[in-house]
């Protein structure tokens, strides 16, 4: 796991300013505290920060092919690199290292841009082809590793993090107001946009080419939801084999490994498979809990995940470590979270993920987790509710228009939302797992014109994913939309940024592309059955898991956010959003902001979700848009990193 950066000047006679490249690379030092390297060739340059995982002594980057006509910088892991190395060696390629990075550059020699289809893993890499004066930039299929870019009139620049791009003096730092409005709707900015004008994310499963003809991108992979003809038992058997293979590949490392353990199904299944593969070798596990002294009894119980994590750790004889997060620590970490994320991301679980990663770094450099299981196997209860809603809509037919009358009755906003959806096909209303600020409040914040434009842009973002899966089931159409939008732009982005902030490499076995491809072909009944999601995972791992965990409902990181924001952080929120230095009034209606703060203090749903999104934006704005944004410094380095 590393940080990469690079520059291509479109004028071949204009050499790279090495000092700019060095600053760009240093801005990502937290991603790779072990080493750094540079490549400069006339009008092109590459930079790299290294977190050493494989081939500790010989894997420094950039790495070259035999005649040094191609240079690569790489962030991620290619788990099938040993097999690729054998194949490429048989085809005459000569290797100087044992690293997966060198396997990529030789695969590029052999297969050209199509080399990306042969890699199994998570990656973002750039190859400069000196002969063709051409750069290839690539991102893995699921979007586990990020890469950003800016294309000016005279140059192209890319990096693992946006803050690195700003080290180039000609990259502008301007807010894209349309992206800001999308953030309000979703709590993240969907790609390829970012919150900054003209800075883009390379989308998952895409490659980008920079050459004399300009800059262009193309998709190289997608998921096919055509159902297979296997029996239930055959599906379970194949799923278990692919899951075991995926975990086994992700245990390849020359540094200590561990697992993030919530005590839920996904992380416990990962721990169970690790134990099966390693012969019950003592595995390091890491969990986070919360100080809920000021929370209600219900919220405190919902936030108490540590008991289940301890049970799972004890069941497998793990070396267990815990961190308990307080409201004060949560509050004080907000500015650092905003700086590391680069963009506003309204997911409060970013903060506990940062702290658990910081703790884990003391014991392990590589950590596995259960991300992606819900989005590929129907784990969220919302999927079941929407499927039921769609069945009702189809049965009612023309009468669905009458159901919208329920939206005028004195029900909660959540119930009114379901009535409204009854009259609208899936593609017209489904916008992913986590909703942002509701339509009514958004319109009050940004005005009718901006609101209507943002709704149109949401349609433009989601509609192609639904159109492509028009013949699939309602469940699979939702899964496809979530794996294309929510998963890479929220879940995986926060996972990458918060773990790399502490120098930890995160691996996600449920998102191995071969496992994802197979899971997509499963019948709905193999994903959701008897009111439970991820049925096939429960069946495949059922005999390995403690019964109490096997049958637990989905929870995730259940932070007592509502209580903290309403009570312990009440004054902090008022100062942040309503104080004299607040940026929000420059972008949003002042009275609407005050109303959001009031709803939070009154405990009205969904006040705490709305206020958290605004707090995140405010602190992001302070970090990136004020005259003196946070510079890169040793204070941002992970535990144990060299200064």
Stretch among 317-326, 394-403, 473-482 having the lowest mean pLDDT? 394-403
On the 0-12 / 13-18 / 19+ scale of CB atoms within 10 A, 434 is middle
DSSP 49: E
Contact yes or no for 188/489 (Cβ under 8 A): yes
pLDDT one-digit tens code per residue, 150-201: 999 999 999 999 999 999 999 999 999 999 999 999 999 999 999 999 999 9
Report how far residue 312's alpha carbon sits from residue 299's, in angstroms, rounded to the nearest whole number.
Answer: 22
> Residue 56's pLDDT band (boundaries 50, 70, 90)?
low
Report how far residue 53's alpha carbon sits from residue 40's, in angstroms, rounded to the nearest whole number.
Answer: 25
Contact yes or no for 392/289 (Cβ under 8 A): no
Residue 87 has pLDDT above 90, yes or no: yes
Stretch among 5-9, 48-52, 286-290, 382-386 having the lowest mean pLDDT? 48-52
Token look-up 């639904």 returns: 466
pLDDT one-digit tens code per residue, 377-386: 999 999 999 9
> Residue 411's pLDDT band (boundaries 50, 70, 90)?
low
Looking at the chain, the whole-number percentage of residues with pLDDT higher than 90 is: 79
Residue 582 has pLDDT above 50, yes or no: yes
Report how far residue 179's alpha carbon sits from residue 233's, in angstroms, rounded to the nearest whole number.
Answer: 46
Residue 641 has pLDDT above 80, yes or no: no
Stretch among 16-25, 97-106, 400-409, 587-596 having the lowest mean pLDDT? 400-409
- Tokens at 248, concatenated: 């086994």
The per-residue pLDDT of the chain, averaged, comes to 90
Phi (first) and psi of residue 323, to 5 degrees: -135, 135
> Residue 88's pLDDT band (boundaries 50, 70, 90)?
very high
- Residue 96: what pLDDT? 92
- Residue 633: what pLDDT? 36
- Closest to 446 in 3D by CA, of 334, 341, 576, 596: 596
Kindly report the pTM of this predicted structure.
0.92
On the 0-12 / 13-18 / 19+ scale of CB atoms within 10 A, 643 is exposed
Token look-up 């809603």 returns: 389
- Tokens at 29, concatenated: 């030092």
Between the alpha carbon of residue 154 and those of residues 42, 159, 212, 254, 417, the distances in Å are: 15, 17, 12, 42, 48
Token look-up 């489904």 returns: 430
Greatest CA separation for the chain: 74
- Closest to 189 in 3D by CA, of 630, 216, 197, 468: 197
Report how far residue 89's alpha carbon sits from residue 92's, in angstroms, rounded to the nearest whole number.
Answer: 5
- Residue 613: what pLDDT? 96
**What is the mean predicted confidence (pLDDT) over 341-351?**
96
- Tokens at 252, concatenated: 């390849």
Residue 60 has pLDDT above 60, yes or no: yes
Residue 409 has pLDDT above 60, yes or no: no
- Residue 609: what pLDDT? 87
Report how far residue 344's alpha carbon sits from residue 329's, in angstroms, rounded to the nearest whole number.
Answer: 19
**What is the mean predicted confidence (pLDDT) over 348-373?**
96
pLDDT one-digit tens code per residue, 90-106: 999 999 998 999 999 99
Give the pairing type, strands 155-159 and 257-260.
unpaired
Give every CB contact of residue 397 below 8 A, 6+ residues apart in sequence.
none
- Residue 95: what pLDDT? 94
- Closest to 272 in 3D by CA, of 566, 513, 506, 544: 544
**What is the mean predicted confidence (pLDDT) over 561-578?**
95
Report how far residue 372's alpha carbon sits from residue 487's, in angstroms, rounded to the nearest whole number.
Answer: 7
Which has more confidence, 418 or 83?
83
- Residue 643: what pLDDT? 24
> Residue 636's pLDDT band (boundaries 50, 70, 90)?
very low
Between the alpha carbon of residue 189 and those of residues 155, 165, 270, 363, 463, the distances in Å are: 25, 18, 30, 34, 16
CA angle centred on 136, ends 122 and 92, rounded to 5°: 80
Give every CB contact of residue 301 below 8 A, 6+ residues apart in sequence.
none
On the 0-12 / 13-18 / 19+ scale of CB atoms within 10 A, 452 is exposed
Per DSSP, the three-state class of 595 is helix
- Residue 113: what pLDDT? 97
Between the alpha carbon of residue 523 and those of residues 221, 290, 371, 382, 534, the distances in Å are: 22, 38, 21, 18, 12
> Residue 640's pLDDT band (boundaries 50, 70, 90)?
very low
Which has more confidence, 456 or 417?
456
Q: Which residues does the annotation mark as catalytic?
A: 2
**What is the mean predicted confidence (pLDDT) over 612-621?**
97
Q: What domains are defined for the chain?
A: 2-219 (3.60.20.10), 232-377+484-559 (3.40.50.620), 381-479 (no CATH), 563-636 (no CATH)
Whether the upstream peptide bond of residue 546 has omega within 30° of 0, thus cis, is no
Per DSSP, the three-state class of 541 is helix
Which has more confidence, 243 or 52?
243
Residue 440 has pLDDT above 50, yes or no: yes
CA angle centred on 282, ends 278 and 286, rounded to 5°: 110
CA angle centred on 240, ends 221 and 515, rounded to 5°: 5
- Closest to 16 in 3D by CA, of 36, 61, 37, 46: 46
How many Cα atoms within 13 Å fall on the side-chain side of residue 556? 17
Residue 415 has pLDDT above 70, yes or no: no
**What is the mean predicted confidence (pLDDT) over 244-261?**
92
Between the alpha carbon of residue 128 and those of residues 58, 75, 612, the distances in Å are: 21, 15, 42
- Residue 637: what pLDDT? 32
């Amino acid at each position: 796991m590393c940080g990469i950066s690079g520059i291509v000047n479109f004028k071949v006679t204009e050499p790279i300013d090495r000092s700019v490249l060095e600053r760009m690379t240093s801005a990502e030092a937290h991603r790779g505290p072990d080493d750094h390297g540079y490549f400069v060739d006339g009008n092109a340059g590459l930079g790299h920060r290294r977190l050493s995982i494989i081939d500790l002594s010989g894997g420094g980057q950039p790495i070259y092919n035999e005649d040094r006509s191609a240079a690569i910088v790489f962030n991620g892991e290619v788990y099938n690199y040993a097999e690729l190395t054998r194949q490429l060696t048989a085809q005459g390629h000569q290797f100087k290292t044992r690293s997966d990075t060198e396997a990529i550059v030789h695969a590029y020699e052999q297969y050209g841009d199509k080399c990306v289809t042969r890699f199994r893993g998570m990656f973002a890499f750039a190859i400069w082809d000196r002969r063709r004066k051409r750069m290839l930039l690539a991102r893995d299929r699921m979007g586990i590793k990020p890469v950003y870019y800016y294309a000016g009139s005279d140059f192209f620049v890319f990096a693992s993090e946006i803050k690195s791009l700003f080290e180039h003096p000609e990259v502008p730092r301007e807010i894209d107001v349309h992206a800001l409005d999308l953030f309000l709707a979703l709590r993240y900015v969907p790609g390829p946009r970012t919150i900054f004008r003209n800075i883009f994310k390379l989308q998952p499963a895409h490659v980008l080419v920079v050459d004399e003809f300009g800059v262009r991108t193309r998709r190289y992979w997608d998921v096919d939801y055509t159902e297979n003809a296997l029996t239930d038992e055959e599906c379970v058997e194949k799923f278990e084999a692919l899951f075991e293979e995926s975990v086994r590949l992700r245990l390849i490392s020359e540094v200590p490994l561990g697992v993030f353990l919530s005590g839920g199904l996904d992380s416990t299944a990962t721990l169970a498979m690790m134990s099966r593969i390693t012969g019950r070798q003592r595995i390091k596990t890491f969990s986070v809990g919360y100080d809920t002294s000021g929370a209600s009894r219900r919220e405190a119980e919902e936030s108490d995940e540590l008991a289940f994590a301890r049970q799972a750790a004890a069941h497998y004889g793990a070396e267990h470590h815990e961190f308990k997060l307080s409201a004060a620590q949560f509050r004080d970490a907000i500015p650092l979270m905003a700086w590391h994320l680069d963009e506003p991301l309204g997911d409060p679980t970013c903060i506990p993920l940062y702290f658990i990663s910081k703790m884990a770094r003391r014991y392990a450099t590589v950590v596995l987790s259960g991300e992606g299981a819900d989005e590929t196997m129907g784990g969220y209860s919302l999927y079941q509710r929407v499927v039921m809603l769609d069945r009702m809509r189809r049965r009612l037919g023309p009468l669905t228009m009458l159901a919208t009358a329920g939206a005028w009755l004195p029900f909660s906003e959540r119930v009114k939302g379901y009535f409204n959806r009854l009259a609208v096909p899936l593609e017209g209303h489904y916008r992913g797992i986590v909703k942002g600020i509701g339509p009514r409040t958004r319109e009050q914040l940004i005005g009718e014109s901006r609101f209507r434009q943002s709704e149109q842009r949401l349609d433009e973002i989601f509609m192609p994913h639904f159109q492509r899966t028009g013949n699939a089931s309602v469940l699979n159409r939702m899964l496809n939309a979530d794996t294309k939008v929510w998963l890479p732009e929220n879940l995986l982005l926060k996972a990458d940024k918060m773990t790399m902030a502490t120098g930890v490499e995160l691996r996600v076995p449920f998102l191995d592309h071969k496992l994802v491809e197979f899971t997509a072909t499963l019948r709905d009944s193999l994903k959701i059955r008897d009111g439970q999601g991820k049925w096939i995972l429960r069946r495949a791992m059922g005999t390995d898991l403690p019964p109490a965990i096997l049958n637990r409902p989905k929870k995730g990181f259940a932070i007592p956010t509502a209580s903290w924001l309403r009570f312990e952080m009440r004054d902090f929120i008022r100062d942040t959003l309503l104080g004299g230095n607040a940026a929000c009034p420059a972008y949003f209606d002042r009275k609407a902001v005050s109303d959001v703060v009031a709803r939070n203090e009154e405990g009205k749903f969904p006040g705490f979700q709305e206020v958290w999104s605004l707090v995140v934006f405010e602190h992001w704005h302070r970090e990136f848009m004020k005259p003196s944004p946070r510079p890169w410094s040793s204070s941002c380095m992970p535990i144990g990193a060299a200064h």
